Amino acid sequence: MYTLGIEEEYFVFDAKTRRAVKHHDKTFFDLAHRKIGDHVMPEMLQSQIEVATPPCKTMDEARAHLVNYRKALGEAARERKLGIAAMGTFPLAFWPEQVATKKERYATLLDDLQIIGHRNMLCGMHVHVEVPKQDSPKRDNRVDLMMRVTAYLPLMLALSTSSPFWQGHLTGLSGYRLACYDEMPRTGLPELFRTTEDYEQFVEALVWAKIIPDASYIWWAIRPSLAHPTLELRIADTCTRVDDAIAIAALFRCLVRALDRDRDLNAGFDRVGRAITVENKWHAQRYGVQAVFIDPFSRSPLTTREWLDQVLDFIAEDVEALGCGTDIKHLDRIVENGTSADLQVDIFQKAKAAGRTRLAAVADVVDWVAAETLAPGRVKPAAKETVQA
């Protein structure tokens, strides 16, 4: 069934000042934990919080979980005079003020990454899709799939962009998050590994040299999960609107199924195609859905609309099989109306044109994102969460 799970990271901010909090509010977290249990967890920096769905068989199930989590966090935040914001970067988060969460893994990371770790004020959406083992019980097809899905990563980034601000200023980019995230090692596009053995040799070399303890320290834009039998999409910004998140997750899920059922699709992805995809990634960061891309196979230019139509054509069978039609259709709205980044910039520029100061205009952006974060979108019945006593 190509079951999926979604992880979303959010910013926590002071409702009065609209600035990202510096320190973890234990009461807020405890309230959230009572509502949704272990599906909520702290992040490396105390101004962030993460949720994770259980494995879901349908997009409606995943949607219900995310709507429930966002609602629960919003209620807990209001009780503490806080807010939550689903976006890739937070306009009023300043890296010198950030405080790390006390956890051994995070301490080790910050010791290694130094200033780069403290600048990691970034929130992404991760989508896990379970890949069935085929041909034999031991066959793991995820590395081959990772290589063949890589060509479409810039498209999914463009559709998700929600990070046009950095430390109080417009960056000029629709997706600044990855420009900052790619300062870290072992990020960006995966290497052109074609076999599981090649990938495992790479991981084993880094572990043997004590550079990393395990494969979870490889943070590529897509990777085989260490903890789960899934292929994990990591390139997307956290989507402000839950409908956008579900649509992009559905697109990734259908792509995985399409490429898994036909292993000749994109088998010709080569070094030139990867180099083109690196360029496409930059255009997605810079322009979002307004970008002009290059087809990694035909080498011809195409718009986001043209590329999405091309993809939807060859995954049509998978969209139907997985029951994702309504969610996939929402991608058209993103292309036509813009991403969260486009709307954030529009709100900011209109506020400035009306005579508001830069910081007041930024506050308007925060207010819009906070309201949209809690909007249920295309409403479905609430998911029932298992809360541990």
Start-to-end Cα distance in the chain: 32
In a domain, residue 381? The reply is no
**pLDDT of 361 higher than 90:** yes
384 has a pLDDT exceeding 80: no
What's the pLDDT tens digit per position in 197-248? 999 999 999 999 999 999 999 999 999 999 899 999 999 999 999 999 999 9
Q: pTM for this one?
A: 0.94
Question: Residue 131: inside a domain, yes or no?
Answer: yes
Q: Give the pLDDT band (50/70/90) at residue 112.
A: confident
pLDDT tier at 24, thresholds 50, 70, 90:
confident
Residue 303 has a pLDDT of 97
Does residue 383 lie within any of the structural domains? no
Query: Does the pLDDT at position 157 exceed 90?
Result: yes
Give the pLDDT score at 388.
Answer: 44
Angle in degrees, CA 255, 261, 267, rounded to 5: 75
Domain of 10? 4-373
Per the structure block, which two tokens stand in for 119?
A: 């600048």
Cβ(138)–Cβ(120) below 8 Å: no
| Mean pLDDT of all residues in 358-384 | 85
pLDDT at 381: 45
**298 domain residue, yes or no:** yes
Residue 178 has pLDDT above 60, yes or no: yes
Is position 320 within any domain? Answer: yes
Coil, helix or strand at residue 163: strand
- Whether residue 336 lies inside any domain: the answer is yes
In a domain, 216, yes or no: yes
Q: Considering the domain boundaries, does residue 342 fall inside one?
A: yes
What is the torsional sign of CA 175, 350, 13, 389?
A: negative
CATH of residue 211's domain is: 3.30.590.20
* Count of structural domains within the chain: 1
